Amino acid sequence: HTGDVGIVVEGQDQISLLDSSLNVAWTAGAPKPILDAAIDAYGHNIAMSLESSDTVIINADRQKLAQFTTTVPLHHIEFSVGNPKIIGAADHGLLCCHDLDGDEVWLERLYANCGSLSVTGDAKRILVAEYSHGLQVFDSRGQSQASFVLDGTPAVHATDI
């Protein structure tokens, strides 16, 4: 939200922190290929989901804060703002929430493949494009709230929520 920093994944296993002028502040390697990465709204914490099913949380100074493992790799991750948590979705079968210590807050099984994920700043609404099941809406506890069935197969969505 501040625009002071950003992140970029380079190749399969390099992540870089960028300053507000898009200069590289630092680059770090990951032990496995990075599937997705997210930075919190203030640029303090960075999460990387790895092909190994591990998600690693580091701070902007490259210090490791936590690590957790899911049953399948998370291909989509987002931070919530007000109550700092990481929301993640696997390509198939999993939507979950973890705190910044890596502890699981909740886990929900999905019935279709996930093409994309978006989360409101406070995580009160979590939207998942679930291909054959349309656009699914979950609340901050992972409970299903609504379903939007669309013509065709939604694979990617973008929201301003």
Residues 31-54: pLDDT tens digits?
999 999 999 988 899 999 999 999
- State the pLDDT at residue 161: 53
Handedness of CA 18, 59, 72, 88 (dihedral sign): negative
User: Which residues 6+ apart lie within 8 Å of 13 measured at CB?
Assistant: 29, 30, 31, 32, 33, 34
Of residues 158 and 53, which shows the higher confidence score? 53
Token pair of 5, please? 């920093």
pLDDT tier for residue 3 given thresholds of 50, 70 and 90: confident
Neighbours of 140 (CB within 10 A): 20
Beta bridge partners of residue 144, listed in sequence order: 138
Write down the pTM of the prediction.
0.88
Q: Among residues of the chain, what percentage have pLDDT more than 70?
A: 93
- State the pLDDT at residue 159: 67
Of residues 142 and 121, which shows the higher confidence score? 142
Does 86 score more than 70 pLDDT? yes
Q: Among residues of the chain, what percentage have pLDDT more than 90?
A: 56
Q: What is the DSSP letter of 33?
A: -
User: Which residues 6+ apart lie within 8 Å of 47 measured at CB?
Assistant: 37, 38, 39, 55, 56, 57, 77, 79, 86
pLDDT tier for residue 160 given thresholds of 50, 70 and 90: low
Chain mean pLDDT for the chain: 88
Does 146 score more than 90 pLDDT? no
